[in-house]
Amino acid sequence: MLSYSFGPYVLVPERQSLMRDQTAVRIGSRALEILAALIERPGELVGKAELVSRAWPDTFVEESNLKVNVAALRRVLGDAPDGTQYIATVSGRGYQFVFPVHAFGQSDASVTAKPQGGTRTHNLPISATRLVGRDPAIDAIGRALEVSRLVTIVGPGGVGKTRLALAIADRLTAAYEHGVWFVDLATVNDATLVPTAIATAIGLRVHSANIKAAIAAFAVDRDFMLVLDNCEHVVEAVAACADAFLAAAARVRILATSREPIRVLGEQIHRLPPLETPPETSGLSAAGALAFPAVELFVERAAGSRNEFKLSDDNAPIVAEICRRLDGLALAIELAAPRLEAFSTRELLDILSDQSHMLSDRRGRDARHHTLAATLDWSYSLLVEPERVLLRRLSVFAGAFSLESACAVAVDEGRPRSECIHAVANLVAKSLVSTERGEFGTQYRLLDTTRRYALQKLAESGESDSMRQRHAEHLLELAKRAEAEWKIRPTADWLAEYGRKMDDIRSALGWAFSGNRSGAIGVALTVAALPFWEHLSLMEECRAGAEHSLGSRFANCRNAGDEMKLQFAYGTALLHTRGPLPEVKAAWTAALGCADSLGDTDYKLRCLWGLCDYFTWTGDHRAALAMAEKIRELATDRGDLDARNNVDRQTGTALRYLGELADAQHHLERMIGRYIPPVTRSDTARFQLDPRSAARGTLANVTWLQGYPDKAVAMAQRQLEEARAAQHALALCNAVVHTACPIALLTGDVVAAERLLVAIEAHVAEHAMTVWSAMGRCLRAEWLLQSGDASGLAVLRGALDELLAVDFRMRCPFYIGVYAADLGKYGDVEAGRVAIDEALALSASTGEIWCMPELLRIKADLLGKKGDHRADKPAEALYMQAIDLARRQGALSWELRAATALAEHWLQTDQDVKAAEVLAPVYGRFNDGFATRDLIRARELLNVLDVGKGRAAAVSVTRRGKRTQSAPEQ
């Protein structure tokens, strides 16, 4: 006999016994059965339907009965010893036992409850009803998925394709390392949005113009299954996506549902027939009828709405005939069976028989759909007029909606909301509106077939445009509320309540812009949608939407405020999807002009900030510095202390790239010292990143250049920890790609660099950030080259060409220098000289001279590879030029590299004394970083030069002396 102990309790299910400290606990049998179901599977989610079936095996009960018994359990058990509850609620889905459990008896197994947490493994909706009659199909499709990477369930509307696919997916959640992801394409009316819908479902934030390619790249090394539901109306787009994903990702499986095949190479089609119905025969018994899945489904659903319904030998032939009239279509049966609440089985059959002729003259449709349409017609005819009106009007919602939204759109002015509330309740009871219960209340939804039917009725009523307009106007109000709440609500809460509104926004935009219905509403709604696109990371959709509304045909529909917001959003989205193209600057400049004319200083600051970033990305750091000064002046005039202080980061960044390291250090340290963390997320919204953390990253780069490698590594690590804690995609990219990984490579820590690269490559792939991906490949290439792998040359050149093609030039002179040096290292000296001249020219043209000493050193190294003594003097001159420029910049680390290279050159020409004299004083000015690559190399060279005890002592004294440049603060 198996018993379970937890805390002070012992449960023996077979005896229906619960003891606390050897004292019996009084508790109802239903509650005890629920406790047993939960405790037998500690840490696992047990669904509501399963618990109801366990506690009330032969009875239909409301969900509230389960809640009451769980509440009673919690009261009896009290709090666990650690102060938490024993039973956790998984909102809208079920419950789980979350306290450690020890099982005694048959195996004396010890079972520990695992609290809910970690990453999601699926997004499958939970079905409230049992799938009937599809076990053979489940087995067949499961086998098909083992041998084919694309299986499509094909069948007519209403046959149960979606329900079957979900049942299969639910069984396979544990089979895929990276989960099973359901994509409902029913709400996607624009085929170009199919990749966006897929990206959203799998939780991928896409900052790319080619979303399909971004998803394919993300999927390359992952093991997951996509369930693409309702593909028929966007089948070509689905085929293109499936083709791309299957070609790129060997471990991805796709299970699709459609009324027609996807027609992709390798697709395996499973044609799903209707549920089997009894043949027309006399003497059919109840037992004989229940052997057919269609009857089984009908009886189960009828019993769910009418508890006293039983299939008998008398009514079995009638039920069989109803199922035949409905052609075994699962949806039609599910719609018809609940009507037994109002009619007898004979009356129901008569109604279906009387109305079946209504579609007999419609041509070109599947015959099975005649019956389904007749069922919908019949269900519609049973409604009273207010319910018909409401059903038609609710069809404007593309996705789930709240009761508040239903009333806002469907209730005429002057009519009481109570009428709508009462009618919604009736439509739910009659299975024409479904419910979804979640953490933020109940949401309602029309099934897709019902919605399409109701949309047709809405068009016939003449109310379509007026209801669509109400719908769009309501979304405008919702969008304003959502934008106001973004800064004060947790991200998860905001997304849970407002994230699902995108389907309705898309639908409303489609209506407003089609047929010149209402360009003004379309533009206003596009402006309202901008925060949604931003917060949901739908950057390409944002770019396309803003671009459309900025078209000349809508010029009269835009006011100056609309123009300003659209131009600003267009520039931002374009930057992150396609890079710093000239159109980005044009858009932000136009937005700035609008903000100026409107006197909107907040947007003026945003635009100036954007332009500052644009110039930084394009490598025009003098222009970025000038833009930062404009921000400072405007912020000072406005009294915006945060903006005035935070712009020191932009100033410091520009000065760093311009090689003015001491001034850069001053501005960055001042910004960090003055920064006051905001109460809300406003700084991230205004400045894209946590300004202090970003400034710390730039200061870490300056610190390395100034000759403090250990301090630079510590600063970089601190910024990395802050970025990880912030859980902000751009912050982590900035910390790794611009700071932590470059500094690891500069110090020669290839192990740390590899660890960072693996993490950031996965991160960039997940968020599909194209420019960041190319920058990451520059770092990967540098790591390959430092590791002795010549393949890094091709990787580096390809990444650089990709960056330069979109005018991204920041840090490119340095990476071209790395490319040139390694071309020489691997024997192609002539190509290396061409590349280093390219780097020097780019550095001079942009003013990005922070790396000029290093580029001069690399050019001198390449000259020395000629093997011609006539090149010695030009090379020496370049080394001396590099040392002098590095010293003037305060870039001690570059000075050490140039001095080391010159010392090696003189050592090879038997000029040992000169070599020691140039290297020893530079080495002696370092106070930390002696375990880093450059300092190790310099020390080894000094040992080879055998500088003598006296000189070694002098070097030691020099090292202990004070540095002329103070170490940057951390």
List, for residues 481-513, the tens digit of each pLDDT value: 888 887 777 767 777 788 788 889 999 998 998
For the CA atoms of 937, 940, 945, 948, what is the dihedral angle to 10 degrees? 130
Q: Is the pLDDT of residue 120 over 70?
A: no
Q: Report the pLDDT value the prediction gives residue 967, as an integer from 0 to 100.
A: 60
Amino acid letter, residue 237: A
Placement of tokens 């922070």 in the chain: 850
Q: Is the pLDDT of residue 685 over 50?
A: no
CA angle 7, 8, 13 (to 5 degrees): 90
Q: Report the pLDDT value the prediction gives residue 119, as an integer from 0 to 100.
A: 52
Q: Report the pLDDT value the prediction gives residue 768, as an integer from 0 to 100.
A: 64
What mean pLDDT comes out for the span 764-771? 73
Check if the beta carbon of residue 130 is closer than 8 Å to that of residue 83: no
Q: Is the pLDDT of residue 217 over 90?
A: no
Fold of 135-271: Rossmann fold (3.40.50)
Among the listed residues 825, 815, 875, 807, the one whose alpha carbon sits nearest the alpha carbon of residue 850: 815
Q: What is the pLDDT of residues 554-581, one digit of tens each?
A: 898 999 999 999 999 999 888 888 889 9
Among the listed residues 395, 269, 270, 277, the one whose alpha carbon sits nearest the alpha carbon of residue 330: 277
Q: Is the pLDDT of residue 709 over 50?
A: yes
- In terms of pLDDT, which residue wins out, 632 or 41? 632
User: How far apart are alpha carbons 771 and 207 in whole angstroms?
Assistant: 9
Phi, psi (5° rounding) for residue 747?
-90, -5
What mean pLDDT comes out for the span 421-443? 82
Q: Report the pLDDT value the prediction gives residue 813, as an integer from 0 to 100.
A: 97
Q: Report the pLDDT value the prediction gives residue 102, as an integer from 0 to 100.
A: 78
Q: Is the pLDDT of residue 128 over 70?
A: no
User: How far apart are alpha carbons 780 and 760 in whole angstroms?
Assistant: 10
Spell out the CATH class of 3-111.
mainly alpha
What mean pLDDT comes out for the span 164-183? 91
Tokens standing for residue 630: 């404009």
* Cβ contacts of 811 within 8 Å, gap of 6 or more: 738, 775, 778, 848
3-state secondary structure of 254: strand
What mean pLDDT comes out for the span 253-276? 91
State the pLDDT confidence band at 366, using cuts at 50, 70 and 90: very low
Amino acid letter, residue 398: A
State the pLDDT confidence band at 229, using cuts at 50, 70 and 90: very high
Q: Report the pLDDT value the prediction gives residue 470, as an integer from 0 to 100.
A: 94
Q: Is the pLDDT of residue 682 over 50?
A: no
Domain layout of the chain by residue ranges = 3-111, 135-271, 286-380, 383-462, 519-690+701-707, 708-768
Among the listed residues 13, 12, 97, the one whose alpha carbon sits nearest the alpha carbon of residue 55: 13
User: How far apart are alpha carbons 820 and 835 in whole angstroms?
Assistant: 5
Q: Report the pLDDT value the prediction gives residue 354, as an integer from 0 to 100.
A: 61
Mean pLDDT of the chain: 85
Q: Report the pLDDT value the prediction gives residue 59, as an integer from 0 to 100.
A: 58
Check if the beta carbon of residue 603 is closer than 8 Å to that of residue 643: no
- In terms of pLDDT, which residue wins out, 898 or 23? 898
Query: Where is average pLDDT lowest: 409-413, 793-797, 820-824, 893-897?
Result: 409-413
What mean pLDDT comes out for the span 45-60? 77
Tokens standing for residue 671: 């910004």
What mean pLDDT comes out for the span 145-169? 90
- What is the full DSSP assignment across 589-621? HHHHHHHHHHT-HHHHHHHHHHHHHHHHHTT-H
Share of the chain above pLDDT 90, in %: 49
Check if the beta carbon of residue 41 is closer than 8 Å to that of residue 94: no
Sheet holding 9-12, edge to edge: 23-24, 17-20, 9-12, 3-6, 101-104, 110-111
Q: Report the pLDDT value the prediction gives residue 532, as an integer from 0 to 100.
A: 84
Q: Report the pLDDT value the prediction gives residue 680, as an integer from 0 to 100.
A: 47
Phi, psi (5° rounding) for residue 103?
-100, 135
- In terms of pLDDT, which residue wins out, 352 or 877? 877
Q: Report the pLDDT value the prediction gives residue 105, as an integer from 0 to 100.
A: 62
- What is the full DSSP assignment across 124-141? PPPPSS---S-HHHHHHH
User: How far apart are alpha carbons 12 and 357 in whole angstroms?
Assistant: 61
The CATH number of the domain covering residues in 519-690+701-707: 1.25.40.10
H runs (alpha helix) in 550-581: 560-578
The CATH number of the domain covering residues in 383-462: 1.10.10.10
Q: What is the CA 102 to chain-centroid distance, rounded?
A: 39
User: How far apart are alpha carbons 227 and 238 in whole angstroms?
Assistant: 12
Number of neighbouring beta carbons within 10 Å of residue 419: 16
pTM for the complete prediction?
A: 0.71
State the pLDDT confidence band at 111, using cuts at 50, 70 and 90: very low
User: How far apart are alpha carbons 772 and 765 in whole angstroms?
Assistant: 10
Q: Report the pLDDT value the prediction gives residue 67, as an integer from 0 to 100.
A: 83
Q: Report the pLDDT value the prediction gives residue 208, as an integer from 0 to 100.
A: 65
- SS3 annotation, 315-382: CHHHHHHHHHHCCCCHHHHHHHHHHHHCCCHHHHHHHHHHHHHHHCCCCCCCHHHHHHHHHHHHHHHC
Phi, psi (5° rounding) for residue 444?
-120, 155
Domains 3-111 and 383-462 share a fold: yes
Q: Report the pLDDT value the prediction gives residue 352, as an integer from 0 to 100.
A: 75
- In terms of pLDDT, which residue wins out, 88 or 358? 88
Query: Where is average pLDDT lowest: 312-316, 679-683, 929-933?
Result: 679-683
Amino acid letter, residue 182: F
Among the listed residues 642, 647, 645, 641, the one whose alpha carbon sits nearest the alpha carbon of residue 626: 647
Check if the beta carbon of residue 103 is closer than 8 Å to that of residue 109: yes
State the pLDDT confidence band at 472, using cuts at 50, 70 and 90: very high
What mean pLDDT comes out for the span 158-165? 89
The counts of H helices and E strands in the chain are 45, 16
Among the listed residues 51, 53, 36, the one whose alpha carbon sits nearest the alpha carbon of residue 101: 36
What mean pLDDT comes out for the span 276-302? 89
- The residue length of the chain stands at 970
Q: Report the pLDDT value the prediction gives residue 829, as an integer from 0 to 100.
A: 94
